[in-house]
Amino acid sequence: MSNEFIPNPEEGKRVYDLDRAHVFHSWSAQGAIKPLAVAGAQGSYLWDYDGKQYLDFSSQLVNTNIGHQHPKVIKAIQDQAAKLITIAPQHANDVRGVAAKKLADLAPDGFNHVFFTNGGADAIENAVRMARIHTRRHKILSFYRSYHGNTGTAIAMTGDPRRWPNEFAYGVIHFFGPYPYRSQFWSNSPEQETERALNHLESVIKFEGPATIAAICIETIVGTPGILVPTPGYLEGLRKICDKYGILWIADEVMAGFGRAGEWFAFNQAKARPDLIVFAKGSNSGYIPAGGVIIDQPIYDTFVDKVFPGGLTYSGHPLAAASIVATLDVMKEEKIVENAREIGKNIIGPALNKMKEKHSSIGDVRGMGVFWAIDLVKDKKTKEEIVPYNASGKDAAPMAELGAECKKLGLMPFINMNRLHVVPPCNISESDAKKGLEILDQAFAVTDKYASA
């Protein structure tokens, strides 16, 4: 916490009351929420107006990869604001061009161009638009376990229950991806899960009609619905299937990219490359709204003479571009991607696996880098989830109690359904990582009460 901060509960109440009087919150029943009034943040911590400090093991929405208030990125935004604060996307702008080049340089050879958006959802929308026009096909395949955003097509592509009241887009087909712990394919090994999941995908393609399918869009590592790391060979097999049927692969790297999985892009773990790369919050830690699509040459060539029918007023906004440039520079200078990889391998992974052996409520632990999920269960043998799928109210009590206990102990958690995700900033220190893990170890006493020994 900043040494200059003086607790001010009265100001906290004013901020809270103002929010509840006028702010309409996302994904919420407005009368049921009590948002935390945040007074400030720095590094891996945030604090409220009472002066209570929280170690941020959520990275907010898994986006503050370089932590809160990084001084070099803040200064870059300030300097850009003094120089040129906004310019329409039809003009050339120096910092926009630099940001595009830096992003393209991180991608595989042949990815030379970037279309900028305001965030991940509209990046998905435009990647799908590019794929449909390039292939002259209309269907898009995506995982049931997925989240791609809240715009029209992106929410239809999403697999989790947030899709259900929002299904107005056309041409979206869902399928099951690999998930060894809760396999849809009755597999008994990761390798068998890969084989059966790929067979399932190819069957879906055949029955939907290959000539109707423009793209398969997947989160390279599924994020909010469970942090599901692809089983060995799955991405390579996906690439072969796409090539066989002339289908594009759109890699959604919004959450998994930019150090989160210990790589610049999560697909770097495989010997396969996508056709379109969607990015957003990780590229600048969410300091300014930004996103986009990195485009492989064959798809770019489609639009050399054909007009691309899409655009946004704030595409490549100078402040957003400056924040991307500064963030990528900081990540390289401070070896933040490497830090995430080592913290995951040496600190988080081993600690979580020890907790799995210790706690009766922990059924599965999975992840890499600073991107981990803890699957909480009532019974390790049956794998029954500690709360039902899409639970709310009293049915969700065990996870609500877990969240409250984490906050009481000074840790800000990321909880979704029956899972707690361990997703601290990519530049978290070893000492803070160990501190957070010790808090979690204490907090799981809450869920152990609901689990059979």
pLDDT (tens digit, 0 to 9) for every residue of the chain, 453 residues total?
A: 766 789 999 999 999 999 999 999 999 999 999 999 999 999 999 999 999 999 999 999 999 999 999 999 999 999 999 999 999 999 999 999 999 999 999 999 999 999 999 999 999 999 999 999 999 999 999 999 999 999 999 999 999 999 988 898 999 999 999 999 999 999 999 999 999 999 999 999 999 999 999 999 999 999 999 999 999 999 999 999 999 999 999 999 999 999 999 999 999 999 999 999 999 999 999 999 999 999 999 999 999 999 999 999 999 999 999 999 999 999 999 999 999 999 999 999 999 999 999 999 999 999 999 999 999 999 999 999 999 999 988 999 999 999 999 999 999 999 999 999 999 999 999 999 999 999 999 999 999 999 987
Long-range contact pairs involving 43-48 (C-beta distance under 8 Å, separation at least 24): 43/67, 43/68, 43/69, 43/425, 44/68, 44/424, 44/425, 44/427, 44/428, 44/429, 44/432, 45/1, 46/412, 47/1, 47/5, 48/12
What is the CB neighbour count within 10 angstroms for residue 353? Answer: 12
Tell which residue, 431, 425, 219, has the closest CA to residue 331.
Answer: 425
Q: What is the Cα–Cα distance from 135 to 133, expressed in whole angstroms?
A: 6
3-state secondary structure of 248: strand
Say whether 83 sits in a helix, a strand or coil: helix
Query: What's the pTM value of the predicted model, to 2 decimals?
Result: 0.96
Portions of the chain given CATH number 3.90.1150.10:
9-66+335-448
Q: Which CATH superfamily is domain 9-66+335-448 in?
A: Aspartate Aminotransferase, domain 1 (3.90.1150.10)
**CA 146/CA 251 separation, integer angstroms:** 12
CATH number of this structure's domain 71-333: 3.40.640.10
- State the span(s) of the chain assigned CATH 3.40.640.10: 71-333
Cα 323 vs. chain centroid, distance in angstroms? 19
Please give the structure tokens belonging to residue 342.
Answer: 């080592």
CB-based contact 280:123 (threshold 8 Å) = yes
